[in-house]
Structure 1
Amino acid sequence: MQPIPLVSQPADERDYQLFRAANGVLCLLIHDPAATQASAVVQVAAGSHAEPDDLPGLAHLLEHMLFMGSRRWPEPGSFPARVAEWGGRFNASTAPQATTFFCAVSPQGLEPCLAHLTDMLAAPLFAAEQVEQERRVIDAEFHTRLADDAIHAQAVLATQVNPAHPLSRFSAGNADSLAGDATVLAERLRQWHAIHYRAGSMALVLHGPQGADQLQAMAKSCAAQLPAGRAPEPYAQPLFAAEQLPRQIDWQGRSGQPEWVLLYPLSDCAVHGSPARWLCDWLNSPAPAGALGYLRERGLLDELHASLESDVGGQALLRIALQVADTEPHQVLAGLDGWLQAMPREDPAHWPQAARLALAQTAFDLGPQGDMLDSCRRYAERLLTLPADQVLDVAGVSLGTLGMPEWQRLVGQLAPSNRLLLQRLPRLSGGDVCAHTATRWQARALPCSAAPSANLAGRLGPCLGPLAEAPKGLRWSSVAPGLRLHRFAPASGAWRTRLAWCWADAGATVAERRWLQACWSLQSEALQQWGERVGIQMQWSLAPGQLVLDVSSPPPLLPAFMRELVQHLQAPPAVSQLALIERRSRRWAQQEQDALPAWRLLQTLQQERSPSTLRLRDPLALWQRLCAQAQVIWLKPDGWPEAERSLLAKLMLNLCPALMRPFTWQCPLPQLQPGQLLVTEVSSKHTDRAQLLYLPAEDDSLQQAACWRLLHHRLADPFFAELRTRQQLGYWVVARLHRRAGRPGLLLLVQSPDRSQRCIESAVERFLQQSLEGLAALPADQLQAQATHLSQLLEQQRQHPQQGFEAQWEDCLWQREDQLAAEQQALLKLTAAQWGAFVRRLPHSARWRLLSRQAGAD
């Protein structure tokens, strides 16, 4: 293993080492003494763009086939079983230029899981019968994805790019694109794998509490099993043919909402470079001089999200997604063009570059935050695309300052003559149809009209402002009975906190809470962007009877950030923002209606019955009422500075005076009664059928919790194997332990593109009946062994930062004391008689069957 020097490392508790193995594998090893889980990521520099022209989807099929047996472990599905044995999770993904495999497990499971993953990558079997089976799975996945507009947008874009560019090809794969004899297809898979899965085109990232020597030994063993050499370099083709742009494409989507996407091909553009970062920052900024803020102020659009996608040969594709207000397209484009014309004249020397670099340095020193598996995946991607000194520098410290020539060189390419506009419409008559997806589209000219340049004089403040100094303030109020406060000892690394604003007795409908979410998310938008620069992540969401805010942050920054955030929520929304807030709220509601059938069923399972539409007569009065009646549940880490806690308490009392009254919130979800059968049809606009069967516990006792957890453990893998793998009912098949209104239960979900509801119901019922017969006869020694194993997995959950946090929240919500630890003990005490009685009662338990029904169908 040849060490590669890292110029600098984050100033956290972790030790980062980079090596190149003798056969070329790049290995980043992260020793983290405080880690409670270990992660392994392998990235291969080959994806759908490297496929042969005659077999679109081959890379995707190969990704599936690597899980279908290898030389040392020939049994299909044995890797998921191994990961589950160590209380972990895994997945894989095929992108245009890379394929990624990853898992996160308990530290003791890293070595055996990495050995298994390595064998999958190095020596897959490609049995013809498994190829045939996974081809059907790929086809089912493709038909399920047809309900998602993303695959249709990609298909439409493919019709417009240079036909010689691989982006013009169909990459998802289906039964038609992968047709032919399974034996021949297996041989093509074997050949493609031998060409592209070479050590010199792979990166490995390992993270865990193991010592540096132990991690290095694991990496060396993994690398030694991979074949030496490099895959052929991709050949750069221009993204668009000459004279192809400008152009507008209208296409018919599944969503009921229109959307515009502007695409600009860029040359000589490093997507991680300083010019590209500043361009995306200025485009996304709601500040007065940012494109979003500038166009919002003129009432031209509601939302803008800009991102850059890399391509080979220094090319990139700038994607600007727009949610427009009630304006004509030419007005929005003219406004954006005016802003783009003004920006090349703005000298970056006058921008707050020093402040931005200071933020980047802070973020770098603090180290990666949140789920380390996500950070390891980012590092793996960077290993194959960036110099060694930039691999760890996600924040951009090493990029330095931006000069005028390179800024003008980049922004000068954003001309009206160099863009493609994709407009999604709910309806489209006539036009062409995409192969495979049958997406309807129509091309027309996109005029290059002259637009007046924007006047940005005096507006070019920072994209993102710094946090204010923490003022001195009051002590924590001792009288706040409407605040339910739960403290917990945080895991090492990032701190996380959750606030839930609650309303008693249906005091705020779902629609009203969604409107308030739109209001508060808009008011905190600029602060959220600032936080992302230093590793702070925040998310608003709705839960039964609640509006929930999650914030994850480096510990030194969280208290001041939360105080600043609640300060932003104090003032009522400005009158000029009300129309935007209402449109954002309506759009979110429409997105829920447009969701895939399985998601619609999951939403319904967790939704209280309240009006779904909002009659907005007086928005400011609604804001005042919702704030006046809200009470708060707060899960906070220990170690919060007293001064910051006092300031935050005062701000929360100012915002929600009901905190002075006794806490009165109760979960609005009704409980199902024993023996009750509830059937609910849920409207969906998609043709896929989905069915969800939910079996709830009779009560919330520890014995019930232990039994339901063991039931899920026994049924989850067989349910997937039987209904998805063997019966091929659909791509989305899952059995999940699910808590509803504080009680556990079992959720069985199937979404199918081609099976009837009766077929799905029969398959689920047959599986349950056959399974219960075997479960009732579970020998006492097996029961004890599995209960002990489950107890150990629960201990791993308690130690895992994310799972442990969710368990703490459940304890806070339902006022329990360390439920996971109590369930551990209940599992160890579970007797064969108790388990037998539980299984015998299951056929007579309450059942809630939810069915998707296509909107408008009889």
Structure 2
Amino acid sequence: MPAPAHPHFLHLTLANGLQVFLHHAPRLKRCAAALRVAAGSHDVPLAWPGLAHFLEHLLFLGTERFATNQGLMAYVQRHGGQVNASTRERTTDFFFEVPTSAFSAALERLGDMLTHPRLALDDQMREREVLQAEFIAWSQDAQAQHQRTVLEGLAANHPLRGFHAGNRDSLPVPREDFQQALHDFYEGFYQSGQMTLSLAGPQSLEALQALAEQFSVGLRSGPLRPQETPPALMNGDKSSFQYADTQHLHQLIACNAPREALDFLCTWLNASAPGGLFAELKARQWVTALEAKVLYQFSGQALLDIDFTLGANGAQQATQIEALLYDWLSFFTHCDWRALRTEYQRLVSRQQQIRGALALARHATENLAPQLSDQHCHALKALLNALHLAPATISWQLPPDNPFLQPPARAERTGLIRGQTSAHRGLRTFAQDRSRGRRELTALTFSHALPDDIDEGALYLRWQLDSPLQTDFFLRLAHTLGPLRENARQAGVDLSFEASGNAWQLKMSGLHEPMPAILEQLARSLVQPDEQLWQTALPRPAPMIALRELLKALPVCCAGVQPGMTAAHLGDLPGVWSNARWQGLAAGLPTACEQAIRHAAARLPGQSATLDEHPPSFHGQHLWHEVSTDSSDAALLLFCPAPTPSLADEAAWRLLAHVVQAPFYQRLRVEQQVGYAVFSGIRQINGQTGLLFGVQSPSVALEGILEQVQTFLTQLPDLIDTQEDPGCLALAEQFSPQALPTAQAAELLWQAQLASHRSDYLEQLQQLIKTCSREDLLNAAQSLNQAAGGWRCVANGAPVTGAWLPAG
């Protein structure tokens, strides 16, 4: 067995050829597995486009040992985890994340579904209709079609130009030759030598290795099967081309460079700091966004896509934009990269430090080098030199080091004025606080419900205004924070913003070390936003499927704010903040960080004040919100709040959601095939807990979707009666602070604060879930069907019956 290159990481090859990556991270609360099969859409016979994607779907449909309701997806969902799969050009990935106690059983189910799929014809016929629905959605999705058009500059015989999604026409299930091809593909590629397994969790490397070896035993053995080398990406000596439309300009470059080198290049291409490519193009109002990424890489081929989102004056400047791109590349080629490499290594190390279990497992399957080597740099230099770049004509600048990535300076003794010793600590109350004009932050709560001996924490801030402002105001405010948000992300802290009615919320989660400095910068930026960023045109929002559009609109619909929003401009900002009140919650922070956060928060605009917010009550009512989407699919969300904010009701509704999740998906997605996007679960919005059901369908109208959902809900009592074990203990375990990832635990605590629950919310909720009875579940199902807490429907169409009241 090879020695680990790092005390927490191990790569080995088992006797049957299975490649294994193991990552021991004591900070993790959960475990994850990622299984990669070296076979994808481009390995399928030309006669059967979509076969690889089709097989990926079929593997989730149960085995002789584990029926669908006991298989991997249902099992992971019951334990509060996440599971999915993805078919790409040359790989197919299966991945999940679960609590530690459920990891071994989940791995067992993954191995069984990969090794013993049923592949029954009736299952295939049903699942083909799901792919047909996905195909219809794909063919109507502007972003997907745009991406396909972008690739038309490639060689016509390269598989990237082909269709690989699968539909009724490309998947003739009853034909013998198709069945033979399906079985040949499965038997040729779904064996140990073609697979890579990555495990990540808090267990020791020895424990993870034992799990990997146990998983390996059940796999079909076989050697690595070489994948066919594709033809050239572009014809002749051509190595790049440009695609442009009214909204985007793509510069695509074919090359042969390692992924590590291309990721290094993309990092600096995407930098938004003054003196860089994006800053220059934005100042000229030619571009509002820039994203450089590796679009494809396999067998020595790589395709780099530099995507410019065009601004008001950019559509006619394609030639000039291209010239500036190559001018910057020339500048970059001749730079001294030593400082950049040091900064890049800080960035890469920080991202590895904050990855969750699933992200760690998936990243390991890429098998990338942990550092940018001299060899990678030589390869990148060769790529850039091959472009035959003319000397740069503009005085470009490299971005400055990210201040939040720098090692922290040695802090002075907390709470002391310069020159004081601990004997003078009492002076702080008067001299220091008075000299700095400190405010009492009565509405900033520091929760100690989470352990503070780990590196992660979270901070929530919520501003309440006297009157609602136009959404554009909050979008511009968030836009001015873009550079801060990017620097924070690189430093391991995620910043997100949400506006609804007259409230604006900010969430900060990740490594707590840089949080005080980020909050200091945030306070300054809120009071004095970058005027240039405020005045520039807002970037176009990325296209989303209809159901995601509805999910984005749901919090606004639930805010209950009446129309009549007022406009506000940059000059109005002092008045906006003077009338704003804010409250906040911090969790998972050690004492020193708490004190630094208090100090930074004292500079936030507005007044710190406990907000008495209560979601609007609409007991017994059926409210309908119509939201416009670009999709022709029918899409619907049904949000059903619990009848009261009590913890007893929340516990019962969480358990009901736990019982309902898998059967709802099975009924509407698998059996009735109402839609291809189907889900249900608990959702908390501004402290209000409710059950959320979502369906999107290209073939069933809103009325039909709603009818199917309501029919399912009326059958809940029968479903509950057939449950031998509703899963009280399994669900309760998911709310232990020791098992919850920090970000998820902090979100629960924040929602609890908005609902005015006590600080021991998690412990109370756990206990109430454990003691939930079948009668409690039946009562919850009855309250749900009676709309005791109201029903709120958010859909991309008008109300389907008179029973629904249009929301004002």
Q: TM-score, normalised by structure 2?
A: 0.86
**Match of 2:222?**
228
Amino acid at match of 1:625: G
**Match of 2:420?**
none
Q: Give, in angstroms, the shift of residue 248 of structure 1.
A: 5.7
| Cα shift readout 1:228-273 (whole Å, capped 9, x = no counterpart) | 201222313211223878766567xxxxxx5314132332211212
Q: Give, in angstroms, the shift of residue 747 of structure 1.
A: 1.8
2:490 corresponds to 1:521: no
**Match of 1:409?**
382
Query: 3-state SS of the aligned residue for 2:481?
Result: helix
Cα 1:844/1:343, change in 2 over 3 Å: closer
Q: Would you say the 8 A contact 2:192–2:223 is kept in 1?
A: yes
CA distance in 2, matches of 1:129, 1:625: 65
**Match of 2:757?**
816
Cα 1:365/1:809, change in 2 over 3 Å: closer
Q: Give, in angstroms, the shift of residue 722 of structure 1.
A: 0.9
Matches for 1:287-366 after TM superposition, within 5 Å: 287-345=273-331, 348=334, 350-351=336-337, 353-354=338-339, 356-357=341-342, 360=345, 364=349
> How many residues are aligned here?
770
Matches for 1:773-812 after TM superposition, within 5 Å: 773-775=718-720, 782=724, 786-795=727-736, 799-812=740-753
**Match of 2:549?**
600
Query: 3-state SS of the aligned residue for 1:311?
Result: strand
Query: 3-state SS of the aligned residue for 1:538?
Result: strand
Query: 3-state SS of the aligned residue for 2:528?
Result: coil
* Alignment equivalent of 2:112, drawn from 114, 119, 122: 119
Q: Give, in angstroms, the shift of residue 27 of structure 1.
A: 0.9
Cα 1:76/1:413, change in 2 over 3 Å: farther
Q: Would you say the 8 A contact 1:692–1:750 is kept in 2?
A: yes
Query: 3-state SS of the aligned residue for 1:4?
Result: coil
2:804 corresponds to 1:852: no
Q: Would you say the 8 A contact 1:693–1:749 is kept in 2?
A: yes
CA distance in 1, matches of 2:153, 2:747: 46
* Alignment equivalent of 1:372, drawn from 357, 378, 381: 357
Long gaps (5+) in structure 1: 10-14, 252-257, 417-450
Cα 1:562/1:604, change in 2 over 3 Å: closer
CA distance in 1, matches of 2:780, 2:398: 67
Q: Would you say the 8 A contact 1:287–1:463 is kept in 2?
A: no
Most deviating of 279-288 and 540-549: 540-549
Most deviating of 242-251 and 278-287: 242-251
Q: Would you say the 8 A contact 1:495–1:637 is kept in 2?
A: no
Query: 3-state SS of the aligned residue for 2:312?
Result: coil
Matches for 1:622-701 after TM superposition, within 5 Å: 622-640=572-590, 642=592, 648-659=597-608, 662-664=609-611, 666=613, 669-673=615-619, 675-701=620-646
Cα 1:464/1:310, change in 2 over 3 Å: farther
2:400 corresponds to 1:462: yes
2:180 corresponds to 1:187: yes
Amino acid at match of 1:136: E
Q: Would you say the 8 A contact 1:267–1:316 is kept in 2?
A: yes
* Alignment equivalent of 1:703, drawn from 629, 648, 668: 648
CA distance in 1, matches of 2:375, 2:612: 52
Query: 3-state SS of the aligned residue for 1:263?
Result: strand
Most deviating of 724-733 and 648-657: 648-657
Q: Give, in angstroms, the shift of residue 502 of structure 1.
A: 0.9
Amino acid at match of 1:485: T
CA distance in 1, matches of 2:142, 2:297: 23
Most deviating of 647-656 and 727-736: 647-656
Q: Would you say the 8 A contact 1:157–1:168 is kept in 2?
A: no
CA distance in 2, matches of 1:412, 1:189: 45
Q: Give, in angstroms, the shift of residue 104 of structure 1.
A: 1.3
- Same amino acid, percent of matched pairs: 24
Query: 3-state SS of the aligned residue for 2:751?
Result: helix
CA distance in 1, matches of 2:405, 2:210: 44
| Cα shift readout 1:134-175 (whole Å, capped 9, x = no counterpart) | 111111222233443332123324544212211011011111
* Alignment equivalent of 1:4, drawn from 2, 9, 15: 2
Q: Give, in angstroms, the shift of residue 792 of structure 1.
A: 3.2
Matches for 1:37-56 after TM superposition, within 5 Å: 37-56=30-49
* Alignment equivalent of 1:280, drawn from 266, 275, 278: 266
Considering only aligned residues, what root-mean-square deviation do their CA atoms show, in Å? Answer: 3.4
2:768 corresponds to 1:826: yes
Cα 1:786/1:235, change in 2 over 3 Å: closer
* Alignment equivalent of 1:270, drawn from 255, 258, 266: 258
CA distance in 1, matches of 2:457, 2:797: 39
Amino acid at match of 1:722: R
Q: Give, in angstroms, the shift of residue 316 of structure 1.
A: 1.4
Amino acid at match of 2:547: A
Cα 1:336/1:293, change in 2 over 3 Å: farther
Query: 3-state SS of the aligned residue for 1:739?
Result: strand
* Alignment equivalent of 1:540, drawn from 475, 497, 513: 497
Amino acid at match of 1:152: Q
Q: Give, in angstroms, the shift of residue 49 of structure 1.
A: 1.6
CA distance in 2, matches of 1:42, 1:820: 34
Q: Would you say the 8 A contact 1:696–1:743 is kept in 2?
A: yes
| Cα shift readout 1:335-367 (whole Å, capped 9, x = no counterpart) | 44134235425565534x236426625853895
CA distance in 2, matches of 1:718, 1:487: 37
Amino acid at match of 1:599: R
* Alignment equivalent of 1:238, drawn from 224, 232, 249: 232
CA distance in 2, matches of 1:732, 1:752: 7
Amino acid at match of 2:144: I
Q: Would you say the 8 A contact 1:140–1:753 is kept in 2?
A: yes
Query: 3-state SS of the aligned residue for 1:606?
Result: helix
* Alignment equivalent of 1:578, drawn from 534, 550, 553: 534
Q: Give, in angstroms, the shift of residue 191 of structure 1.
A: 0.7
Cα 1:180/1:456, change in 2 over 3 Å: same
2:472 corresponds to 1:484: no
CA distance in 2, matches of 1:73, 1:697: 34
Q: Give, in angstroms, the shift of residue 460 of structure 1.
A: 3.9
Query: 3-state SS of the aligned residue for 1:321?
Result: strand
Q: Would you say the 8 A contact 1:198–1:231 is kept in 2?
A: no
Q: Would you say the 8 A contact 1:730–1:752 is kept in 2?
A: yes
Q: Give, in angstroms, the shift of residue 599 of structure 1.
A: 2.6
Query: 3-state SS of the aligned residue for 1:322?
Result: strand
Amino acid at match of 1:624: P
**Match of 2:423?**
none
* Alignment equivalent of 1:769, drawn from 696, 714, 717: 714
Cα 1:82/1:835, change in 2 over 3 Å: closer
Q: Give, in angstroms, the shift of residue 176 of structure 1.
A: 1.6
Q: Would you say the 8 A contact 2:251–2:305 is kept in 1?
A: yes
Q: Give, in angstroms, the shift of residue 729 of structure 1.
A: 0.6
| Cα shift readout 1:69-116 (whole Å, capped 9, x = no counterpart) | 335435576222222344422111111121111111221221121122
Q: Give, in angstroms, the shift of residue 754 of structure 1.
A: 0.7
Q: TM-score, normalised by structure 1?
A: 0.82
* Alignment equivalent of 2:458, drawn from 494, 497, 505: 497
CA distance in 1, matches of 2:583, 2:594: 15
Cα 1:844/1:341, change in 2 over 3 Å: closer
CA distance in 2, matches of 1:579, 1:676: 43
Amino acid at match of 1:672: F
Q: Would you say the 8 A contact 2:77–2:662 is kept in 1?
A: no
Long gaps (5+) in structure 2: 418-431, 800-808
**Match of 2:123?**
130
CA distance in 1, matches of 2:588, 2:253: 49
CA distance in 2, matches of 1:679, 1:760: 14
Cα 1:638/1:340, change in 2 over 3 Å: same
